Amino acid sequence: MIVTRFAPSPTGYLHIGGLRTALYSYLWARKNGGKFLLRIEDTDEARNSVEAAQAIIEAFKWVGMEHDGEILYQSRRREIYTRYIEQLLEEGKAYRCYMSKEELESIREAQKAAKERPRYPGTYRDFTGTPPAGIEPVIRIKAPTEGHIRVDDGIKGSIDFPVADMLDDFIIARADGSPTYNFVVAIDDALMGVTDVIRGDDHLSNTPKQIVVYNALGFKVPKFFHVAMINNPEGKKLSKRDGATDVMAYDTMGYLPEALLNFLVRLGWSHGDQEIFSREEMLTLFDPNHINNSSSSFNQEKLDWLNAHYIKNMPNVELAHRLVPFGVDLKGHDKIEMILDLLKERAKTMVHLKALIDELLIAPRVYDETAAQKALKGDAIEVLKAFRTRLAASTALHLPSDYHVLMEATIGELGVGFGKIGMPLRVALLGAMTGPAIDAVMAVLGIESTLARIDSFIAWQATH
RNA sequence: GGCUCCAUCAUCUAACGGUUAGGAUCUCAGGUUUUCAUCCUGGUCACAGGGGUUCAAAUCCCCUUGGAGUCACCA
């Protein structure tokens, strides 16, 4: 069985890059009928863990991703780690190091000055004498001193890390007894039964250390997939300065979770030429072995395009429902279908769609000057008045075509072109030169509102 | 600086050594739309550079260059 996990450190919110690796992990587990676990890495900053977990759960909920089982908090697993530390101590695979921070620091300085790699020299590795007084020891693990550690990565291939150039006897427990990251990660992954670790590229150089721990404890090393980072449009690492990195900010901005997920799944992974992936398709097609090995840049235009696509293709009932959190309540409006059909293909985001709905449903307070000027050329106002008269005399108009007939009749009577009626009407009803088909706008507004808007405009132009 | 990773259009990417290097976003030009948007059609745009290996290289190897990550009693 495939078991994956997402193991964020509690920094406050779910990062867009984190969501991608979480998504990959989720898809891979679910595709194989396995498990997708969640673990909070709060060995150090225990204070934020509750909020962080909630923020992550909230984001997971928003995109419709669910983890299996209970959330694991590393801060609550101290005894487990302590037990393994003691085990390693007893087996002679780890040892107490009494070197003071100051001494360690001066050694590092000397090494740097000599242009050597800063590393712990192994002073207490085989120490048997009496330890110096007054120093709380840290626990170091005995790492190999030569040869290579091989990481078989599902994305990068097989990588050989030369031990001499990158490892030393690293600390697995601090002076206060608390375990360190690389130690607990390996233990938890092993204990949780994680078979496939899908995580960010930035953990690649941690992997040899974790393998040392796996080996010392006799655990089976999982399969690793190190996904390259997401860069900003300038090609640099994505940071808070690049605008939205918080997943939930995309909700606020009016992005649909399915669009964001589709965008992220395609950012670094592909399936031939396919661009649009439903949840079901992701689930059946995703394969971490086809993840691209180079880093990628976040590009807003494509997200916008995807978002527009999902808005456009969403059933109106569903769309109306999703619009509620954005402050749009169309419940009870008898023209919901017409309104949404008219506007959804013009919206890039839900926020945009709300704006479009408001523009349609709320009578214009101001008229675009240049638009009005253009629309009122010649005897346009007379045409508008003629139309108004016809409209006032009409009853039972429902469809756009009903209003269209009325427009045709007006210009037929006056012997003018369609533009003579279309433009003035457009400005009168919407206050601008652009917008949805004008007959459809009238069908949405109904006779009363349409008349009112025309009258307002006529009154306005009389004073201009 | 050491170690490691990465390198195809502006961007996301395809290519199982043999293709006129394909698709998508963006952009541009047409068409549809009384307008705008959508939609449709078409165009511009890429194998970082240099060496090898091979009948044949975007693809394999090496070097250069350029990016990135990481080197803690952080995670």
Within a domain: A447: yes
A456 CB and strand B closer than 7 A = no
- Reading the block at residue A389, the tokens are 């008269």
A348 CB and strand B closer than 7 A = no
Residue A412's Cβ-side half-sphere holds a number of Cα atoms within 13 Å equal to 7
Binning pLDDT at 50, 70 and 90, where does residue A217 land? very high
Average pLDDT of the segment spanning A294-304: 93
DSSP string, A26-46: HHHHHHTT-EEEEEE--SS-G
Q: Are A395 and A450 in contact (CB under 8 A)?
A: no
Within a domain: A138: yes
Average pLDDT of the segment spanning A211-235: 92
Closest CA-bearing residue to C1' of B34: A419
- Write out pLDDT tens, residues A17-71: 999 999 999 999 999 999 999 999 987 655 567 788 889 999 999 999 999 999 9
CA-nearest of A268, A248, A252, A187 to A221 is: A187
- In this predicted structure, the answer to whether residue A242 has a pLDDT above a threshold of 80 is no
- Reading the block at residue A140, the tokens are 């170091």
For residues A86 and A210, membership in a common domain is answered with: yes
More confident residue, A10 or A27: A27
Q: Say how many domains are in chain A.
A: 4
A157 CB and strand B closer than 7 A = yes
- In this predicted structure, the answer to whether residue A2 has a pLDDT above a threshold of 80 is yes
Q: How far apart are CA A67 and CA A30, in angstroms?
A: 10
Question: What domain range includes position A339?
Answer: 314-361
- In this predicted structure, the answer to whether residue A273 has a pLDDT above a threshold of 80 is yes
For residues A26 and A88, membership in a common domain is answered with: no
For residues A338 and A432, membership in a common domain is answered with: no
- In this predicted structure, the answer to whether residue A256 has a pLDDT above a threshold of 90 is yes
For residues A100 and A196, membership in a common domain is answered with: yes
Q: CB count, 10 Å around CB of A192?
A: 17
For residues A221 and A92, membership in a common domain is answered with: yes
For residues A82 and A68, membership in a common domain is answered with: no
- Write out pLDDT tens, residues A405-437: 999 999 998 888 888 899 999 999 999 999 999
Which nucleotide minimizes the distance between its C1' and the CA of A115? B1
More confident residue, A245 or A277: A277
Which nucleotide minimizes the distance between its C1' and the CA of A305? B25
Within a domain: A306: no
- In this predicted structure, the answer to whether residue A452 has a pLDDT above a threshold of 80 is yes
For residues A104 and A208, membership in a common domain is answered with: yes
- In this predicted structure, the answer to whether residue A13 has a pLDDT above a threshold of 90 is no
- Amino acid symbol at A168: D
Q: Are A226 and A288 in contact (CB under 8 A)?
A: no
Within a domain: A307: no
Kindly indicate whether the ipTM for this predicted assembly is greater than 0.85, answering yes or no. Answer: yes
Domain boundary among A180, A203, A227: A227
**CATH number of the domain encompassing residue A379:** 1.10.10.350
For residues A353 and A400, membership in a common domain is answered with: no
Q: Can you give the pLDDT at residue A45?
A: 57
For residues A348 and A401, membership in a common domain is answered with: no
Q: Can you give the pLDDT at residue A115?
A: 84
Q: Which residue in the list A240, A312, A374, A420 is annotated as catalytic?
A: A240
Q: Can you give the pLDDT at residue A375?
A: 87
Q: Can you give the pLDDT at residue A272?
A: 92
- In this predicted structure, the answer to whether residue A333 has a pLDDT above a threshold of 90 is no
**CATH number of the domain encompassing residue A82:** 3.40.50.620
Average pLDDT of the segment spanning A156-173: 94
Q: Can you give the pLDDT at residue A44?
A: 67
A73 CB and strand B closer than 7 A = no
Residues 385-414 of A with CB under 7 A from strand B: none
Q: Which of A89-98, A123-132, A446-455 is predicted with the least confidence, judged by mean pLDDT?
A: A123-132
For residues A349 and A379, membership in a common domain is answered with: no
Within a domain: A32: yes
Average pLDDT of the segment spanning A132-147: 93
A169 CB and strand B closer than 7 A = no
CA-nearest of A309, A262, A310 to A286 is: A262
- In this predicted structure, the answer to whether residue A168 has a pLDDT above a threshold of 70 is yes
For residues A15 and A26, membership in a common domain is answered with: yes
Buried b (16+ CB within 10 A) or exposed e, A46-77: eeebeebbebbeebbebbebebeeeebbbbeb
Domain boundary among A227, A242, A263: A227
Provide the CA A302 to C1' B44 distance, Å, integer. 20
A202 CB and strand B closer than 7 A = yes
A31 is catalytic: no
Within a domain: A260: yes
Which nucleotide minimizes the distance between its C1' and the CA of A157? B5
Within a domain: A134: yes
The rounded percent of chain A whose pLDDT value lies above 90 is 80
The rounded percent of chain A whose pLDDT value lies above 70 is 98
pTM: 0.94
- Amino acid symbol at A9: S
Within a domain: A63: yes
Domain boundary among A361, A385, A416: A361
For residues A96 and A204, membership in a common domain is answered with: yes
Q: How far apart are CA A133 and CA A140, in angstroms?
A: 19
- Write out pLDDT tens, residues A186-206: 999 999 999 999 999 999 999
Q: Can you give the pLDDT at residue A46?
A: 53
Q: How far apart are CA A75 and CA A40, in angstroms?
A: 8
Chain B nucleotides reached by a protein CB under 7 Å: 1-8, 11-14, 22-26, 33-39, 67-75
